[in-house]
Structure 1
Amino acid sequence: MPDLILRKTILSREDIFHEGGPPPERPLLRGWIMAVIENPFAGTYHEDIQPFMEELKPLGVDMANRLAAALGGPGAIEGYGKGAIVGEAGEIEHGALWHAPGGYAMREVLGGAKAIVPSTKKVGGLGARLDVPVTHKDASYVRGHFDAIEVGCADAPRAGEMAVVLVMTTGARIHDRAGGLAAADIEGKDGLR
């Protein structure tokens, strides 16, 4: 199993105080964390890539802890998502290795969140941007939490790297009024409603 080689991490927090209309009672916090790592499979085809997910698990937990702390702690988090940008010497399947380590890390850190962690991935060059989807952590059908956070880094991913990402929010979109299931009405039985 290849070792994880980390080049750098980036942590970003956005405090939204106004979106037009009346100011919210408290600002909406949105954040993301990216780890730029060496892609051990770049450049050649490898049949068995799944063992690398074990190497990614501790990174996922560390990233989830750091991001939650930057947004007020695990109890403040309501929305989440994950993603990966694979450098051009890799393949999109390498980004899929982040699904379990990134998702389960956030669920663990956030105390057993029930909803599937939405995800996206792509192959891209230096400075590639990625829109990472967001849903409510306990019920995927909470329409007010449907969102996306754009992430990227000017010097990543290099051809032989991957940039793995987690995103979190502390609430719904400001002034959400598109209807549907409200966060206050979540039953929490199946991760959907």
Structure 2
Amino acid sequence: MPDVVVRKLVVQVEEVFHEGGPIRPEPVKRGSVLAVIANPYAGRYVEDIQPFMEDLKPLGLEMASKLVDALGGDASVVEGYGKGAIVGGGGELEHGALWHNPGGYAMRELLGGAKAIVPSSKKVGGPGVRIDIPITHVNASYVRSHFDAIEVGINDAPRNNEMVLVLAMTTGARVHARAGGLQAQDIKGEDGLR
């Protein structure tokens, strides 16, 4: 199995106090962690790529831990999450799909067994490309107030032989959420949906 070679990690956090409405005393925090790694399959077709998912698991846990720390260190305040990948031009979209399992399960484990599926996006692109990481509530995908996205990118990544792996988390709903639907306090927690 190939080694996971990390070129750089980027952690960023936004604190949102308002978006034109009432100012919140405590901001909603929206954070992301991005890892630029070598793509061991760039430039060639490899039939069996699944073993690399196992290799990515420690990186997933490291990234999730860094992100929780950046959001204040308390995993219990995380209410939303998402993940994604950008594959450099020498790779293929399927290489980004290898992040589904290690990225998603790392966050779910660190957050105490979150129930909802971790939404995801992926694309192929070059240095500086941006990607929207979809966000949903960690325990119920139907909580409309937490439908969101965080746009991320790195000016010098991914190069042709690299991938950018992304995890994102939030500490609350959209800052002025008022579109109705299932409320976070009404989650049953049985199926990851409601």
Which amino acid is 2:24 matched to?
Answer: P
Matched with 2:46 is 46
Matched with 1:20 is 20
What SS is found at the alignment partner of 2:101? helix
* Paired residues, number: 193
Q: Within 5 Å, give how 1:60-139 maps onto structure 2.
A: 60-72=60-72, 73-139=74-140
Which amino acid is 1:93 matched to?
Answer: E
Which amino acid is 2:29 matched to?
Answer: L
Encode CA deviations 1:121-153: one digit per residue, 9 max, x unaligned. 000001010000000000000000000000000
Matched with 2:183 is 182
Distance 1:21 1:41 in 2: 48
Which amino acid is 1:191 matched to?
Answer: G
What SS is found at the alignment partner of 1:53? helix
Distance 1:17 1:136 in 2: 20
Distance 1:12 1:63 in 2: 12
Which amino acid is 1:111 matched to?
Answer: G
The runs of at least 4 aligned residues of structure 1 exceeding 2 Å deviation read none
Encode CA deviations 1:59-90: one digit per residue, 9 max, x unaligned. 00000011011112211100000000000000
What SS is found at the alignment partner of 1:8? strand
Matched with 1:164 is 165
Which amino acid is 2:164 matched to?
Answer: A
Q: CA deviation at 1:25?
A: 3.5
Distance 1:138 1:120 in 2: 19
Distance 1:11 1:190 in 2: 31
Unaligned segments of structure 1, at least 5 residues? none
TM-score using structure 1 length: 0.99
Distance 1:25 1:114 in 2: 29
Which amino acid is 2:125 matched to?
Answer: G
Contact 2:18 2:176 in 1 (8 A): no
What SS is found at the alignment partner of 1:103? helix
Q: Percent identity?
A: 68
What SS is found at the alignment partner of 1:11? strand
What SS is found at the alignment partner of 2:131? strand
Q: Which piece of structure 1 moves more, 77-86 or 12-21?
A: 12-21
Which amino acid is 1:85 matched to?
Answer: I
Superposition RMSD in Å = 0.6
